[in-house]
Structure 1
């Protein structure tokens, strides 16, 4: 019955070359959060205006961030994964 497992799988947004998986560690306010990135770096990430009212971000959420080229300790949040999608990423070994 492995077909049932494949049906439950959804195609997720995967990181581009300049993006990394991250987990929200702390809410800072003023549309900023502290994230722990998959590359081992802790960054301050900005929630862009297009996500502020539409997507609620909480501590523990798995997000996709795009680190800034000119300042590596900062990043922009590009996408938030639902809890079911985050679980799928963990099962497939993309995130720890």
Structure 2
């Protein structure tokens, strides 16, 4: 779950831009350019339509870091329990 005190939020992957960058649509309605952190880059592939946890940058609101990718069963559970 996103930590609200750390400004984390849900997002959906829209477009793969290459070079570890993805255009994401955040839950607050803003489209940002997301950067895949090295920890995530080595562990999982992110595809268009995936549900993610992102943290917007404090000094550039149009960019963010991608922290986590949810698997399809996890997304189904989140929708069933009205988190997204």
TM-score bracket, normalised by the shorter chain, equals over 0.9
Q: Which structure 2 segments of 5+ residues have no match?
A: none
TM-score (norm 1): 0.82
- Give every structure 1 segment of 4 or more consecutive aligned residues whose post-TM-superposition deviation is greater than 6 Å: none
Larger Rg: 1
Structural mapping, 1:16-27, within 5 Å: 16-17=3-4, 18-27=7-16
Q: What residue is the counterpart of 2:22 in the other structure?
A: 33
SS at match of 1:55: coil
Looking at secondary structure, tell me which structure has more strand per residue. 2
Q: Which structure 1 segments of 5+ residues have no match?
A: 1-13
TM-score (norm 2): 0.93
Quote the RMSD (CA, aligned, Å). Answer: 0.7
SS at match of 1:65: strand
Give the number of aligned pairs.
82
